[in-house]
Structure 1
Amino acid sequence: MSARDEILRRIDGIVPVRPASEVAADYARIDRDYVRRHHADGVLDLFAERVAHYRATVLRTTEADLPRVVAERLAARPGTHGVPSGLPEAWLAGVTSELVRDPAVAGLDRLAGAVTACAAAIAETGTIVLDHGAGQGPRALSLVPDYHLIVVRAGQVAPDVPEALERLDPSRPLTLVSGPSATSDIELSRVEGVHGPRTLEVVIAE
């Protein structure tokens, strides 16, 4: 038995496992009488505004013109870019720079950047959610390279948090992206790229 298994065994011994029916009943009793949506119109405009507020670059295009935009953004950052399985091949049709499919974790720090899709996005908060399914790759791919290009389809943008969460599978590992990686010290000196990509570009395909 591994140390991890032993720790989990001890936790299970302290906190008894409850029947699924009890958990479901408790979940159903949660009061959800709250405002679900603050915006009915202009959702994409709001999302673009909030993402840009976090110092990310926002580009808006059509589905038909998406391959050109992706190719141009990657060409502007010479080097090899990581691409996860499941990313639509059509998005990469115009790319001339070198791409590595499902790059090994050990080589992520040598990539010029990564290109991924997303699972959902939230207009109210300017947040993009990855659940690391098809087209998104493992969490490390979105955190280690210094540059991250995320494609967000218009239909993936929810007006507010409640609707976005309903589109997600809570059993999956979720990464919430609100702008490029940044932190501040006690004097409020902003430093970018400490624990994630220093540069984030978001392409909204309408």
Structure 2
Amino acid sequence: MERTYHQAHGNLSPEELTDLLAENLTDYRAKVHRCTTEELPGLLAALLTAHRTRTVLIPPGLDPAWTSALDTEQIPDTPDTTPHQLDRVDSVITACALAIAETGTLVLDASPDQGRRRTTLIPDHHICIVHTPHQIVASVPQALPRLDPTRPLTWISGPSATSDIELDRVEGVHGPRTLEVVLLTDEPTNSDV
């Protein structure tokens, strides 16, 4: 007997999916920004300055135009970068494979514009760029067919956090304490969520 189920709750427009993703990321304590491709280099520079970043790790496939306004030392992500060298990096900028609106989740698959898995787990500050609306899906069931299960998938829902036995939340134990998500669009907007 074939089992069917809803792939998503409701039929949301691309704008509604983007808003839902932003809302859920914010609920998980991520900082969400919206900008156009033209505004992106300036926004990235401002985010790194606000975080007092001295060194930023850049995956080899990240669009160089995006980082053109950075005056921060850029460290390329190479296979021979050691964990000790990564520990001295303040921030990392990546793209993503896709984002899931209903869960507020970013999925990275170690593509060249995302870098290796460890590059997003060691620096204290992660900026992730999501192309809207085509990289946003409504639900996990919609995400799975778009992902390659043979790739190393990293699912991120907010900054790294854990709770102790008394349920006191501690951030930054297993990854970045600060997650900033840039929702990139070609439509003019200057609003932070």
Interval of TM-score (by shorter of Structure 1 and Structure 2): 0.7 to 0.9
| Mapped contact 1:75–1:96 kept (Cα < 8 A) | no
Equivalent residue of 2:129, what SS?
strand
Report the RMSD for the aligned CA atoms in angstroms: 1.3
> How far did residue 32 of structure 1 move?
5.2
More helix per residue: 1 or 2? 1
**Residues 53-90 of structure 1: CA distance to partner in whole angstroms, max 9, x if unpaired?**
00010001112211111111112223101011100111
Structure 1 124/134 Cα, relative in aligned 2: closer, same or farther at 3 Å?
A: same
Normalising by structure 2, report the TM-score: 0.88
Find the counterpart in structure 1 of residue 53 from structure 2: 78
Find the counterpart in structure 1 of residue 188 from structure 2: none
1:84-99 correspondence runs (5 A): 84-99=59-74
Residue 144 of structure 2, aligned match among 165, 169, 174: 165
Residue 102 of structure 1, aligned match among 67, 77, 80: 77
| Mapped contact 1:54–1:180 kept (Cα < 8 A) | yes
> How far did residue 113 of structure 1 move?
1.0
> How far did residue 159 of structure 1 move?
1.1
Residue 59 of structure 1, aligned match among 11, 18, 33: 33
Normalising by structure 1, report the TM-score: 0.83
Equivalent residue of 1:47, what SS?
helix
**Residues 77-122 of structure 1: CA distance to partner in whole angstroms, max 9, x if unpaired?**
2310101110011111111111001151330110111111100100
In 1, Cα distance between the equivalents of 2:49 and 2:172? 21
1:55-204 correspondence runs (5 A): 55-76=29-50, 77-102=52-77, 104-105=81-82, 106-154=84-132, 155-204=134-183
Unaligned runs of 5+ in 2: 186-193
Most deviating of 71-80 and 106-115 = 71-80
Unaligned runs of 5+ in 1: 1-28
In 2, Cα distance between the equivalents of 1:198 and 1:166? 30
| Mapped contact 2:53–2:91 kept (Cα < 8 A) | no
Structure 1 69/196 Cα, relative in aligned 2: closer, same or farther at 3 Å?
A: same
In 2, Cα distance between the equivalents of 1:140 and 1:195? 11
Instruction: Number of aligned residue pairs: give it.
Output: 177
In 2, Cα distance between the equivalents of 1:205 and 1:78? 22
- Identity between Structure 1 and Structure 2 (%): 51
Moved over 6 A (4+): none
Determine if the alignment matches structure 1 residue 36 to structure 2 residue 7.
yes
Higher relative contact order by CA 8 Å / sep ≥ 6: 1 or 2? 2
Structure 1 131/32 Cα, relative in aligned 2: closer, same or farther at 3 Å?
A: farther
Equivalent residue of 2:170, what SS?
strand
